[in-house]
Structure 1
């Protein structure tokens, strides 16, 4: 993604800054004052996913949103550091270096897994965690073998990212993708996702993330993550089963579940006011 071309009308661009912190060149958005709340998007997303959430939270908090390595406008500096543990360590070091250690972390999908992993890697743990349609379990059955294998093969093929971007980077391809995860979002949101997936570098980094992803260590550590945690689920999510969040709540020492009927995987983009209000209610007594 090129900031001069693709970032000229990027949501909340007035809050954007770029930071070089090894090994990546990071795109951050920082807004508001108060306790620091970090927002982490899911696989294949970017800061645009928080376009309506960030301004609401920034009325009470210092909100930090970032693009994951190679995705959105963050430039990938080390391809081998796209897995869960590496990203958690690199994001934790970045925030420490910028004086933005989070008091709370809100993560969507795979971003929720990163949020939970960061409890181990931050200099001080956050006071609260929120996961939105948290992707905390690996694919089951044959998919558990086939999908990671496909991702690794595609990540090794230099033409794969271009081919996927050409297909998904169409209006029809993006609509098919978003409908497939159970969500209905605005035309603006669809256009932003189309801009992302049409970019070969963004798609390539997304494939690298999937290829390097492993939740085994995090699953083992869930019972030791003693931080107040809220897991929010859209009951129409077709990407991440609600049952995974139910099981995680049972294993986390201080966790609760909030259900939103009629919303899919991108619940915070479909109903940002309602979802953000639930997040704020959870954070109010903890920050």
Structure 2
């Protein structure tokens, strides 16, 4: 199974100077750390990696001390050590990393599936941040028949060892990557697009994305959400093509005190599409929370 190589794909990795490799738990993690100020943990979504934070990193680093890992099997972090990349497993793995790094976040910014990880960690007492910011959060199960179809389909793909290699091979077609990115509702620049294409050429990265989807049970998370005590802000891109804005707003109905802030004109990859607008929104959330 092919993996991204730090000496090859990593040569032009965004914010490479902030990168390091850390052994924690069952994984050798690729981590980026930098900035100054209150500590903020950044958790990317399924199929992405730390490159996703590339455009917004310098802006957030002016105000926060940032820690951003590649999730297990994604990017340059070593693949899963066992067969299950479930939401609880990934949450515990990230907690292992935080202990190793001695990093207790004041804030957590989770994009897409990264928001679900942040919430699971808070509910399980693995972190105690002052606030979680969910950006285009993939938090609730997909409605209707698709709720059962998509995880089942991902599981079938995951169990076929040829599928990750096949999907990685297909990613060599610029059209396949462009079609996938177009579905997000975002328009990202050529550099970000090329980084996604580079990752999806490697079967280990595709395998990890499929493994997450195959084992991603959001129903348990949805049942536990009313117990969340950590303040929650939902940043909702109005043009999100992956997670319907209405579904993201549903979260606010079950989490006491949760607030919703819209991001007009942006898609699922809002922070890559307009880093300045999203950084301003995040800084506004924190400023309001502390009464600045």
With structure 2 as the length reference, what TM-score do the two structures score? 0.95
CA distance in 2, matches of 1:54, 1:133: 18
Aligned to 1:113, which of 108, 116, 120? 116
Can you list the C-alpha shifts for 1:223-264, whole angstroms capped at 9, x where unaligned?
111222110111111110111111101111221111122211
Contact 1:89 1:121 in 2 (8 A): no
Q: Do structure 1's residue 50 and structure 2's residue 72 form an aligned pair?
A: no
Q: Do structure 1's residue 101 and structure 2's residue 94 form an aligned pair?
A: no
Gaps of 5+ in 2: none
RMSD across aligned positions (CA): 1.3
| Cα gap change, 1:148 to 1:124, in 2 (>3 Å) | closer
CA distance in 2, matches of 1:168, 1:201: 13
Contact 2:31 2:70 in 1 (8 A): yes
Q: Do structure 1's residue 165 and structure 2's residue 158 form an aligned pair?
A: no
Alignment correspondent of 2:35:
32
Alignment correspondent of 1:255:
258
Report the 3-state secondary structure (helix = DSSP H, G, I; strand = E; otherwise coil) of the residue aligned with 1:136: coil
Aligned residues: 287
CA distance in 1, matches of 2:16, 2:8: 13
Contact 2:34 2:61 in 1 (8 A): yes
Report the 3-state secondary structure (helix = DSSP H, G, I; strand = E; otherwise coil) of the residue aligned with 1:198: coil
CA distance in 1, matches of 2:127, 2:117: 15
Task: Report how far residue 11 of structure 1 moved.
Answer: 0.2
CA distance in 1, matches of 2:83, 2:39: 29
With structure 1 as the length reference, what TM-score do the two structures score? 0.96
Alignment correspondent of 1:218:
221
CA distance in 2, matches of 1:79, 1:267: 33
CA distance in 1, matches of 2:36, 2:207: 35
Contact 1:104 1:127 in 2 (8 A): yes
CA distance in 1, matches of 2:21, 2:286: 28
Contact 1:227 1:253 in 2 (8 A): no
